Copies of this chain bind each other. A is one copy, B any other.
Amino acid sequence: MNELRKDPTRGQWVLIRPEPPAGDGSECPYCPGAEAASGPEIAAYRKDGSAPNTPGWMVRVVAERDPYFRIEDELVREGVGMFDMITPRGASELIVESPRHDDTLATIDLEQLEDVLWLYRDRLLDLKRDSQIRDILISRRHKKPGVARHHPYSRVTAIPIVFDEKRRELREVREYYQYKRRCLYCDLLRQEITARERVVRLTKSFACIVPYAARGPLETWILPRRHQSLFEDAPRHEYASLARLLGDILRRMNKALDFPPYNLLIHSAPFSEHAADYYHWHVEIIPKLTKVAGFEWATGFYLNPTAPEEAAAVLRDARP
């Protein structure tokens, strides 16, 4: 059984699918030379003109082996009595960020990180052409050093509905826009840049802030200072600028928090809604320092023991 089911009392989707068998983890399928083990290559950047599915790549995209969402599946939307079901048609891809097994986004060089961001863009542009895909999320889960069994990678998840978290954001910023005719994120940036207390770094194109209601210690956001709803529409030089800032912030986090595990998300406007005026793409980085406790789980409240203003000061001072 592989079904997306919607709970009508919460309006929330759940993916029901059997647990895939765990790999034996003995060899890394993402290292150069193991290309046959990692699944078919969807795209790669190669400087040496080497052939697909052979070594020589700098960054590489493969289909996930037990994908959450499959592009081959037929999209079926079905009513089950009063309930809603959709088949999980979409894409689950992995972006291998470096040929080196021990690299992280904080250690790869600037050009490599820029290539990773550029490949994010490529995948978004390519998958958007599929009219049954309504939303795409790029996410990256960085585990504590020594915990990850293999090679760092980012995940691309393309789905036939809008991601719940983004639906939440869209609802709020749409309402704000309808009332004020201004982008909420633009207003927020203006206020944060004036106040300064939650700003970590400002560059010509980007602002890095700790949000007012950060969900955990040192959650940070990176936003383009100019209004832009789509990550994939940024001009080329901005990816270089973002790579520089992102690498710096991750190294600051490593310094301040002793190499924390973190989640990184790229929130870009979904294709199913004309959100160009009110959505503002951004990167969210959430260090995983506190466990999600029962209280949070039960209530939907996050508990954050660190004041966002303190967190921003810590990151400002943590020069790598």
Chain A contact residues, CB within 8 Å of chain B: 1, 5-19, 68, 80-83, 137, 139, 141, 155, 157, 163-165, 168-169, 171-173, 176, 184-185, 187-188, 191, 195, 211-215, 263, 265, 292, 294-295, 297-308
Which residues does chain B contribute within 8 Å of A1, judged by CB atoms? 307
**Is the pair B294, A141 in contact by a Cβ cutoff of 8 Å?**
yes
A141-B294, A188-B9, A188-B82 known; A301+B168 contact, CB < 8 A: no
A214 vs B16: C-alpha distance when bound (angstroms): 9
Which of B68, B187, B211, B307 contacts A7 (CB under 8 A)? B211
The prevalent SS among residues of A at the interface is mixed
Contact B12 A300 (CB under 8 A): yes
Would you give the shortest CB distance from A273 to chain B, in whole angstroms? 16
Q: A284 to chain B: closest CB distance in Å?
A: 9
* New A-B pairs, 20, CB < 8 Å, besides A5-B212, A14-B303, A163-B301: A6-B213, A8-B212, A10-B165, A12-B168, A12-B300, A14-B213, A14-B215, A16-B213, A17-B305, A18-B305, A68-B303, A81-B195, A82-B188, A163-B300, A168-B300, A263-B294, A263-B297, A263-B298, A292-B292, A292-B297
CB pair B263 A137 closer than 8 Å: no
B308 touches A11 (CB 8 A): no
Contact among B80, B163, B299 for A299, CB-based, below 8 A: B163
CA distance A302 to B184 in the complex (A): 28
- Smallest CB separation, A235 vs chain B (Å): 24
Q: How many copies does the complex hold?
A: 2
Question: With A172-B9, A173-B9, A295-B155 known to touch, is A301 a contact of B185 (CB < 8 Å)?
Answer: no
A17: B residues at CB distance < 8 A? 303-305
Select the residue from A1, A173, A213, A265 with max chain B CB neighbours within 10 A. A213
Residues on B with beta carbons closer than 8 Å to the beta carbon of A165: 10, 298-300
Residues of B within 8 A of A15 (CB): 301-304
- Would you give the shortest CB distance from A265 to chain B, in whole angstroms? 5
Which of B14, B187, B295, B307 sits near A301, CB closer than 8 Å?
A: B14
